[in-house]
Structures are given as structure tokens and as C-alpha cells.
């Protein structure tokens, strides 16, 4: 059915990335403040509309390339199950709705959503063809989600949170590039020309840098004077083992299981990683909200 194919083209499984919007809500200790929770939830839904529409735009732009990909060729547009003119209409409807609804929160959030949209459109048509810049644009999408989450509920965001977010996002983006090269092998550059600029060894070196930086930054964040003063506790250091295990588990999946092309799919399907993320969230909530 048409509606099912449109729904699949919006890639709802990738909306899990928009959960980054809730980071400022959690770390501002507002989980029990229901009006603030509603605002954050509204921001999440708006980014689902925007990101869904931009996934359709990307599929329209990469239609011919996707038809050569072993997995992407099965998408509704690339497979022919969804007509291109329908896809264009859906893109404009959801994109417009997302931007208009963003104005209902506040103007700063609207500007942030607009910047996100412009960057993603720029990625689809230009930035994806520039080596290294392409992974930074992907990572910027995660960073903007966190910033948007803070603007939606009007709270200050710790620079440590932004630093950890951009480093983690770079880790995921580079792992994605590595997976594409390994999966497509000799056909990699035919599907995505920029892949000729990368090599698994180069990406492994880059991943090693951001992996170490992510862990060190998170450790410093948990014990920094600013963090201790803000939350009134030094116990966030006890969440570090969950971060270490999560990164090591992801590296294991990338190298041993030859995956990494879809972070959201890995999180959902890999039970140990899912359990680890759940325990990390629980530990954060317990430490920040139940200090007494």
C-alpha cells in the first residue's frame, strides 16, 4: 500500500537518533517537570518530521546510486514501489510541517531546526562529496539535536555534553563509512564516489582517535568541578564502565561482525549493547535524581 511505502521511506527506525534531543532534559534534572517534558517531546516529534522528510530527499537525490546498493536497492523509492512524484510531494509536506511547528516552541528552536535542515540538504547535494567534511556534517546532525533539545526547554547546555556528543557522533559516522567500504568492496566508489578517498586503515586510525577522545572527555566531564558543583555529587564517575563497555561492544560489532552501517539498527538488535545503554541511563537517573 502507498501509505506503508511512504512510512518506510520516512525511515522511522532511524528516528532513534532524535532521542539525543532529550539529553538536555535529563542532565538539567527536569524529568519530573511535566510541562518541560512535553516541550522536549514536541521537539522530538518535530525533528522526526524534519529528518523523515530529509531522508526522502536524500533517497530522491541518490536514486540511481541506491539501485546499485545491495541493501538500499530494496528501499521503496529505489525499488520502484514508491513513485518519485509522490516522494517529492511527501517531502515538501513533512518538511514544511516540521519548520512551521518548530515556531510553536520558540524562535531560537526554529532557527536551530532550520540550520539542521539546511545542513542536511547541503549534505545531500554537496558536502557528502568532500572527504572528512562529510563525516563532520553527519556528526553535526547529532550535535544540533542536543542543542535543539536545550533550546526547546530553554536550559543551558554544558560544553562537556556538546564535546562528548560531537566525538561520539564522529565515532559513529566513521564506523558507518568503514562498513560501507567493507560491504561494497570494489563497488564502493560506484555507489558513493567519496568512498574512494577513504581506506579501512585510515578510518581505523581516525576511529581510534575519536574513541580515545570520547572516553577521556566523558571521564573528565564526570569529575570536573563544574559538574560536581552543578549536580552536587561525584558519583557520575561510576557510569564510566557503561560508556567503556558500550564503545568496546560497538567496536566488536564493527570489526568482528562487519556491521556499523546503521547505528540505530545495531542498538535495537544487539541485546548486550541495548542492555548496557539501558543500565547507563538508569545509573544516570539514579545518581542525578536520587541523591538523597
pLDDT at 241: 96
DSSP assignment, residue 69?
S
149, 127 Cβ separation under 8 angstroms: no
Phi, psi (deg, nearest 5) at residue 226: -60, -45
Question: Which residue has better confidence, 32 or 64?
Answer: 32
In this predicted structure, what is the pLDDT of residue 290?
81
Q: What is the mean pLDDT of residues 219-224?
A: 93
**Global pTM value:** 0.89
pLDDT in tens, 74-119: 777 777 687 788 888 888 999 999 999 999 999 999 999 999 999 9
Say if CB 76 and CB 82 are below 8 A apart. Answer: yes
Return the higher-pLDDT residue of 170 and 265.
170
**C-beta of residue 52 within 8 angstroms of C-beta of residue 87:** no
What are the grid coordinates assigned to 177, written together? Answer: 563509512
Q: Which has more confidence, 59 or 74?
A: 59
Of the candidate ranges 24-33, 63-72, 128-137, 212-221, the one whose mean pLDDT is the lowest: 63-72
Give the Cα separation of 69 and 183 in Å (integer). 10
How many other β-carbons are positioned within 10 Å of the β-carbon of residue 245? Answer: 17
Length of the chain: 292
- Could you tell me where the beta strands, DSSP code E, fall in the chain? none
Cα–Cα distance measured from residue 230 to residue 233, given in angstroms and rounded to the nearest whole number:
8
Minimal CA–CA distance to 134: which of 165, 190, 173? 173
Nearest-angstrom CA–CA distance, 180 and 135: 13
Residue 127 pLDDT > 60: yes
Set out the domains of the chain in order of their start, with CATH numbers: 1-157 (1.10.357.140), 163-292 (no CATH)
Q: Work out the pLDDT band at 20, boundaries 50, 70, 90.
A: very high
State the cell numbers at 120: 542536511
- CB neighbour list of residue 10: distance below 8 Å, 6 or more residues apart: 52, 53, 55, 56, 90, 94
What's the mean pLDDT in 42-58? 92
The cell for 110 is 526554529
| pLDDT score of 42 | 95
Residue 61 Cα to chain centre, angstroms: 21
Helices (H), 62-158: 63-66, 76-79, 84-102, 107-125, 133-153
Amino acid at each position: 500500500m502507498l501509505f506503508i511505502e511512504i512510512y518506510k521511506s520516512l525511515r522511522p527506525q532511524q528516528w532513534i537518533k532524535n532521542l539525543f534531543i532529550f539529553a538536555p532534559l535529563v542532565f538539567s534534572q527536569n524529568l519530573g517537570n511535566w510541562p518541560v517534558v512535553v516541550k522536549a517531546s514536541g521537539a522530538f516529534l518535530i525533528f522526526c518530521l524534519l529528518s523523515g522528510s530529509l531522508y526522502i530527499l536524500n533517497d530522491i537525490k541518490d536514486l540511481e546510486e541506491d539501485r546499485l546498493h545491495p541493501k538500499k536497492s530494496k528501499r521503496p523509492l529505489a525499488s520502484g514501489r514508491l513513485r518519485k512524484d509522490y516522494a517529492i510531494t511527501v517531502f515538501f509536506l513533512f518538511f514544511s510541517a516540521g519548520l512551521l511547528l518548530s515556531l510553536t516552541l520558540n524562535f531560537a528552536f526554529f532557527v536551530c531546526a532550520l540550520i539542521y535542515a539546511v545542513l542536511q540538504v547541503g549534505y545531500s547535494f554537496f558536502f557528502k562529496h568532500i572527504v572528512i567534511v562529510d563525516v563532520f556534517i553527519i556528526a553535526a546532525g547529532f550535535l544540533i539535536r542536543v542543542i535543539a533539545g536545550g533550546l526547546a526547554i530553554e536550559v543551558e547546555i554544558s560544553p562537556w555534553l556538546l564535546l562528548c556528543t560531537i566525538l561520539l557522533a564522529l565515532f559513529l559516522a566513521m564506523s558507518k563509512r568503514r562498513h560501507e567500504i567493507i560491504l561494497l568492496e570494489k563497488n564502493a566508489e560506484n555507489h558513493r564516489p567519496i568512498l574512494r578517498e577513504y581506506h579501512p586503515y585510515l578510518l581505523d586510525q581516525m576511529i581510534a582517535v575519536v574513541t580515545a577522545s570520547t572516553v577521556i572527555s566523558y571521564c573528565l566531564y564526570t569529575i570536573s568541578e563544574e559538574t560536581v558543583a552543578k549536580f552536587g555529587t561525584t558519583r557520575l564517575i561510576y557510569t564510566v564502565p557503561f560508556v567503556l563497555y558500550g564503545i568496546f561492544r560497538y567496536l566488536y560489532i564493527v570489526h568482528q561482525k562487519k556491521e556499523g552501517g546503521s547505528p540505530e539498527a545495531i542498538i535495537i538488535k544487539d541485546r548486550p549493547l541495548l542492555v548496557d545503554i539501558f543500565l547507563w541511563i538508569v545509573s544516570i537517573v539514579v545518581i542525578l535524581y536520587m541523591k538523597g
